[in-house]
Chains A and B, each alone.
Chain A
Amino acid sequence: MNSEKISKGLLLAASFVILLITTGMVLSLVSGSIPVFSKLGFHFIFSSAWNPTEGREDYGALPFIAGTIITSILALLIAFPLAFSTSLFIGEYFRGKWFAKVLGTLVDLLAGIPSIVYGLWGFYVLRPFIVDMGLSSQGYGIFTSGLILAIMIIPYATSISTEIISMVPNDLKEAAYSLGSTKFEVIFNVIVPSARSGIFASYILAFGRAMGETMAVTMLIGNTNAIPSGLFDTGNTMASVIANQFGEADGLKLSALIAIGLLLFVITALINAAGKFIIKKFS
């Protein structure tokens, strides 16, 4: 009886560890960003200054917030038709067929490729391709980053929506077929409406993934600290500016980078919580 209490206590204690880590993370990030917020106030979030010169230090996170949101939305727009088609291919059209399984495995492999390898491939293959197409002179920028991010998030968007699409009850589909519906009509009148929230949630989660990606974006976005003015302009994301500027950072600059990390943490946590909430609520 006593040993039971001890083991249960141990399990409970272990659970407190992750609670401690998470609260510790939030506290450390907040306390690390206090210097920059106390010196610059909320101006920090809405300013696009980035001046590390001693004595005239001024930092703003707006260009990076903008860069993160623009590249991630672009990635989502590019990934959507690809991921949606792939989930229909695997989960509906060719469900259970061997080539659907091969396709599923290949898409899963995309999730296993390290971010830095995507970056290299983007730099040596995608970037020259974009230059050859005449889209931009150097090939760096928002569009290139969005494209590589789209490839990276496809497996995340695909895996959950495939599962949800293949879970749509057969009798619903059969009822529609018996009324003379075509496959296309079944997909858009039966499958999509009943799997809508799950599909939506999987894209939200993929969006959260895209926002936090670091290496591939760092290698392709061009790293300029200004709000991008167009699709082929260079920029920086919250993650890439941390990776880029961290090496030479101390004092107020370090605090600014930690504050950007805090913002990134809060935004991705909210997006993830929303995605998980939708999945839990509707499935």
Chain B
Amino acid sequence: MQAIVSQIGRNTYRTRKNKFFLGMVVFFSMLTILPILLIIYKLIAKGIHQINLSFFTESAPDTLEAMTALNNGEVIPGGILNGITGTLFMVILASIMAIPIGIMIGIYLYENAEKRFANLIRDISDVMQGVPSIVLGLISYIWIVKNVTGGYSALAGATALGIMMLPLIIRSTEETLKMIPQSIKEAAFALGVPYHKVMLRVLIPSSLSGLLTGILLAISRVLGETAPLMLTALGSPVVNLQIDSPTSAVPLLIWEFYNDPNMVDLIWSSSLFLMGFVLALNLISKRIAAKST
């Protein structure tokens, strides 16, 4: 009898512990998503009233214009056009540098999966993926700003972003190709199709959605980068599309607004725009990935 009672006692202790732990898990999980909800709420609440047409069609105001508007209690004039064009310009340049090479390296890794050299390349791109973006900014400063363009430039910014994108594209290409059935490739070879045509006409088309997902994710990763651009592209008050001149970018503008007490109101709208852009790319790429599998 005694034994049974103690048995029951232990059982309730165990079930209570079990329930308590479940409660903790649910509590902490809810706590985890609290920040994202708070951040999105804050950006929308403070940023939405500043977003209008001129936000997308005009360059950033100078601090005097902003101060006058602030004193008169008006909405700060101007927009972030120089940042939007700069971001797009540098991301396109970075994509031109990183995407073709990245896909080629990805194909190489897939084709030579077990070779020693391929393992080395795979390890290197894994390590590169973890390199802090500010270090890539330093590198691009040493290589491009000092030795190629002789000053801060869009090219330098794009190089930093491109090096950042490269390992992401390599790994996503390889992972995508691995999922294509071997038989498709073998069928093409059996028909006597030359090697490069198998790559271009069979491998790449049949993995297109996967490649696209990887590319969009890589772009969304570099869109919001600020630190490497501070060291390389510097920023510019006007729209610049010259690869050897300083260029602005949306995150750089946010940093400038943050440091200028007259323009500080613009940080929320610019951040809202930047985050919306990044999250939209993220969701689109996930939608593509979900559709193709």
Residues of A at the B interface (CB closer than 8 Å) are: 3-4, 6-8, 10-12, 14-15, 17-19, 21-22, 24-25, 28-29, 32, 81-86, 88-90, 93, 103, 106-110, 112-121, 123-125, 151, 154, 158, 182-185, 187, 205, 208-209, 211-215, 218-219, 239, 242-243, 246-247, 257-258, 261, 264-265, 268-269, 271-273, 276
Contact = CB atoms under 8 A, between A and B. Distances in A.
Interface string B182-208: 000000000000111001000000000
Contacts of A265: 131-132, 135
Contacts of B196: 3-4, 6-7
30 contacts: A3-B195, A7-B195, A11-B107, A14-B101, A15-B105, A18-B101, A18-B125, A21-B163, A21-B166, A24-B143, A28-B143, A29-B138, A29-B142, A81-B28, A83-B32, A103-B29, A107-B32, A109-B282, A112-B275, A112-B278, A113-B36, A182-B15, A185-B18, A214-B133, A243-B231, A265-B135, A269-B130, A273-B123, A276-B123, A276-B127
B37 to A, nearest CB: 8
Nearest to B109: A15
Nearest to B108: A11
Nearest to A88: B25
Interface in B246-260: 251, 254-255, 258
B139 to A, nearest CB: 5
Given A85-B28, A106-B36, A182-B15, A18 B195 contact: no
A213 to B, nearest CB: 7
Nearest to B128: A22
Nearest to A186: B18
B111 interface: yes
A273 B127 contact: yes
Contacts of B258: 116, 119-120, 123, 219
A271 B131 CA distance: 10
Contacts of A242: 134, 138, 231
Contacts of B254: 116-117, 120
B11 to A, nearest CB: 9
Given A29-B138, A182-B15, A214-B133, A14 B105 contact: yes
Contacts of A208: 130
Given A81-B28, A112-B278, A268-B130, 20 more contacts: A18-B121, A18-B170, A22-B128, A86-B29, A109-B279, A110-B36, A114-B271, A114-B274, A115-B227, A116-B251, A118-B39, A120-B254, A184-B18, A212-B135, A214-B132, A242-B231, A243-B230, A247-B230, A264-B132, A268-B132
Q: Which of B31, B130, B131, B133 has the most CB of A within 10 A?
A: B130
B1 to A, nearest CB: 21
B250 to A, nearest CB: 9
Nearest to A219: B258
Contact of B108 (A6, A12, A81, A209): A12
A184 B275 CA distance: 38
Nearest to B224: A114
A8 B223 CA distance: 33
Contact of B278 (A12, A24, A113, A182): A113
B205 to A, nearest CB: 16
B188 to A, nearest CB: 13
B139 A28 contact: yes
Nearest to B254: A116
B167 interface: yes
A272 B129 contact: yes
Contact of B14 (A10, A108, A182): A182
Contacts of B135: 25, 29, 212, 261, 264-265, 268
B276 to A, nearest CB: 10
A9 B117 CA distance: 14
A29 B255 CA distance: 26
B232 to A, nearest CB: 10
* Among A82, A117, A118: residue with most chain B CB under 10 A: A117
